[in-house]
Structure 1
Amino acid sequence: MLAYAPAVLLFLAFCAGTLRERRRFSNAVLLGLSFIFAAAAWLTELARSQPAMGREIGIVLFLLLAVGIAILSWFLISNGVTMVRKEGRSPANLLSLLAGLALVALLALMTTALILENETLVVVTGTVLALAGYIAFLFLCFIVYAFLYGRLHIHRKADYVVVLGAGLINGATVSPLLAGRLERARAVHTRLTAHGRQPVLLASGGQGPDEALPESHAMADYLVERGFPAALIEREDRSSTTEENLRFSKSIMEKANPDYRCVVVTNNYHVFRAAVTARRAGVRGQVVGSPTAAYFWPSAMIREFVAIFLTYWRTNLAICLLLVLGGASIWLLG
């Protein structure tokens, strides 16, 4: 049982970190590491007590990994084609397609290395697999913890409901995606009001170069047209990014009430990154999400992960360089 001690300690660190501040990406990594160490301990114990079964399970896991990569490649490429057909060829819409093609290239590289048995190619393949494994580990941590975060309890007391803006159709009309955020914000506002609060709904979004008016103004108009009290709406109309949405909204809330609490509303795929950004901006509040079309979700989640990965670019660059240097050292020593 001592073999499971690292996994238990990591899981306890995850629990403590989540209770202290649930908006940290380190919580996701700690949870992922606890599962990795638990699985490693289980396989080690199995190999020690039943060597034959341990080898068989290892082979099965390897085959499942290969088949899983192939299936995932097909799914991502298929979803990428759907995204391009329904949403256009913007770089963000190509992410699932590019990820699927990258996995196909990885499988091709692995197959070539196994067939040719070239030492240099094997080392290169191993290094690429190490890099891909590191990124895949972080991505799985992100997906799992983002799912968990979206289901954590949100405090019932809040002075503001902040809705993050999104692009307008034809520069003036609220899109279905943004309408989903606004409807979720209304539901949150209704729930808070039922518990004795009367929070202000803060629409956050500036005016893009292709928009006829600020997103926040279109959002406010949408709400008022559907019966929401105009007196309970404020606008933040200078922002152009999620970080600015939160930073400028924070200024408005702090000016009116230094001890404010808020709930931030966005789409479900964007919840955890918005929460991480809110923590870094010093915003006092958690984030909730509205539903998103299923076909849109894979590319959106990849985009969110890329943004999180780049947020911690120094740490990730250092680890990737260490993996590359490790591969180079093996090649030189070989």
Structure 2
Amino acid sequence: MIFGIAAVIPALFFVVGVLRDRRRLANAVWLGVTLVLLLLWLLFRAAALEGRAEVAAGYAFAVVLVGLGLVLPVALIANGVLMLKREGFKLANLLSLLAGLAIFGVGFAFAFATARTGPLVDAVIGALLVVAAYVAFLFVSLLLYSVVYGSVGRRSGFDAIVVLGAGLIGDRVPPLLANRLDRALRLYRREVGAGREPLVVVSGGQGSDEAVPEAVAMRDYLVRRGVPEEAVVLEDRATTTRQNLGYSAELLAERGRSGRAVAVTNNFHVFRAAVLARGLRLRMQIIGAPTAWYFLPSAFLREFVALLAQNPVAHVVTCGLLVAGHLVLALT
């Protein structure tokens, strides 16, 4: 009962946070804490019951353990191999493979710790497991809230549509970027159909391996599909998501477009872009475009690492406190 009551508090913080600003990182944490407390409540409630409910809870727990300890890492490793075959050998494409190997490593560490190797070794391995649990909690919380964020919010009534750039192949728009542009195109047509005349800002500079700035290729893509050239504004300096958002906002302000704006990116990138927009104090929400299924695991992992990197001190301090508490309990 106590866990069920305790879950109400973070749930209230979550609801208030979402109502105040959906782009808050804290919303994901409150959602995660709420779900953990609810899970604990369900487990203790099932354990208190007799007969089938307890057996069912035991089977469910076993299924979760097998899924997390075996099925998930195998799936991540398989996805990593597929990413390398289709996208080439890059660090970003190795993330799902490395995550799968890391989960196997955590499992082996847990098995080693249960072999009664001594209090000191058990304490050290336990500390590593505590850090792994903290990272897993954050990842699941951010993943779930990314889905929530991408599923709610306004879908029309925009004065401006910003399309965030992605890498070109020479001067050609690849599928990843085409998905963003197609989503922006649908939004533009919906707004025009409702009697509005939104500006479309295409944002992206030129990389060393690109024949033209991303913004130029993006503009040409939209114009060929019926968007008037005068309705498209080029932002061809940005090389990061923060610059995409900031420079685009400046261009809109110069043109007197201070109303509702939306930025379009891929679904895996939505929440981090929203956090960055909030940090820049922009009145801009983010909408996601679909992404090839095999690309999602590595993409979500990359976004997760980037979100962690925004607050490294907070995460290091939190991990340090958790590990210190574990060591005190384990060694005493």
TM-score (norm 2): 0.93
Partner of 2:154: 154
Show the 5 A alignment for 1:259-270.
259-270=258-269
For residues 168-204 of structure 1, the C-alpha deviation after alignment (integer angstroms, 9 at most, x for no partner) is 102x111111111111100011112222211000000
Q: How does 1:160-179 map to 2 (within 5 A)?
A: 160-170=160-170, 172-179=171-178
**Partner secondary structure for residue 146 of structure 1:** helix
Q: State the secondary structure of the residue aligned to 2:115.
A: helix
Give, in angstroms, the shift of residue 83 of structure 1. Answer: 0.3
How much does 1:31 deviate? 1.1
In the aligned structure 2, how far is the partner of 1:152 from the partner of 1:53? 35
- The Cα offsets for residues 272-319 of structure 1, whole Å up to 9 and x where unpaired, read as 111111111122121111111111010000001111111122211111
Task: Give the letter aligned to residue 61 of structure 2.
Answer: L
Over 3 Å counting, the alpha-carbon distance change for 1:3 and 1:96 in structure 2 is closer
CA distance in 2, matches of 1:39, 1:324: 23
Q: In structure 2, what is the equivalent of residue 247 of structure 1? A: 246
Structure 1 partner of 2:233: 234
Q: Which moved more, 1:59-68 or 1:232-241?
A: 59-68
Aligned length: 332
Aligned to 1:95: 95
Which residue is equivalent to 1:135? 135
SS of 1:309 mapped into structure 2: helix
| Counterparts of residues 12-91 of structure 1 (less than 5 Å) | 12-47=12-47, 57=57, 61=61, 64-91=64-91
Relative to structure 2, which stretch is displaced further, 226-235 or 318-327? 318-327
Query: For the Cα contact (< 8 Å) 1:156–1:195, is it kept in 2?
Result: no
Unaligned runs of 5+ in 1: none
Structure 2 residue 222 is the aligned partner of structure 1 residue 199: no
CA distance in 2, matches of 1:67, 1:91: 26
Other structure's SS at 2:259 match: coil
> C-alpha distance in 2, partners of 1:42/1:60?
11
**Structure 1 residue 81, shift from structure 2 partner:** 0.3
Question: Cα gap change, 1:187/1:63 in structure 2, threshold over 3 Å: closer, same or farther?
Answer: closer
d(CA) in 2 for partners of 1:54, 1:129: 27
Question: Unpaired segments of 5 or more residues in structure 2?
Answer: none
Amino acid in the other structure paired with 2:178: A
Question: What root-mean-square deviation, in Å, do the aligned CA atoms of Structure 1 and Structure 2 show?
Answer: 2.2
After superposition, the Cα gap between the structure-2 partners of 1:253 and 1:121, relative to the gap in structure 1 and judged at 3 Å, is: same
Equivalent residue letter for 1:83: M
The residue aligned with 1:123 is 123
The residue matched to 2:151 in structure 1 has which SS?
Answer: coil
Q: 1:54/1:124 Cα in 2 relative to 1: closer, same or farther (>3 Å)?
A: farther
Q: 1:57 offset after TM fit, Å? A: 4.3
Alignment TM-score, normalising by the size of structure 1:
0.92
- Report the equivalent of 1:104: 104
1:59 to partner: Cα distance:
8.4
Give identity over the alignment, percent. 42
1:21 is matched by which residue type in structure 2?
A: D
Q: Which residue of 2 aligns with 1:325?
A: 324
